[in-house]
Amino acid sequence: MCGKSLDLQYRIVSGGQVRWIHLRATFKGDASGRPRAADGTVEDITDLKRVEQALNSMRRQREELASHVPGMLYQYRLRPDGSSDSPFH
């Protein structure tokens, strides 16, 4: 296991709150190759996961809507400065 890397994302529930954690680690060993230590980081990625979930939900909603439309979907945006665009390409 020495010299190998670990890259995990996992969910924990603490006090009724859900948190997402990203763990990265590299294992180091002694001369015989037995693992003796690990260097790494632990990062709370809860906000990132919430954004990913919101984007996935919007994507699923758009796909569901599109599956019931016989033509095509488009979006037209008119900005306060008077410029406009159509973000779906």
Q: pLDDT by residue (tens digit) across 21-56?
A: 999 999 888 888 777 888 999 999 999 999 999 999
Tokens of 69: 């439309």
Which domains can be identified in the chain, with CATH numbers? Answer: 5-77 (2.10.70.100)
- Cβ neighbours, 10 Å, residue 19: 14
Q: Which pLDDT belongs to residue 2? A: 65
> Using 50, 70 and 90 to split pLDDT, how confident is the model at 88?
low
Q: pLDDT by residue (tens digit) across 49-76?
A: 999 999 999 999 988 988 898 888 888 8
* pLDDT surpassing 90 at residue 8: yes
Phi-psi region of 16 (alpha: psi -120 to 50; beta: other; left: phi over 0): left
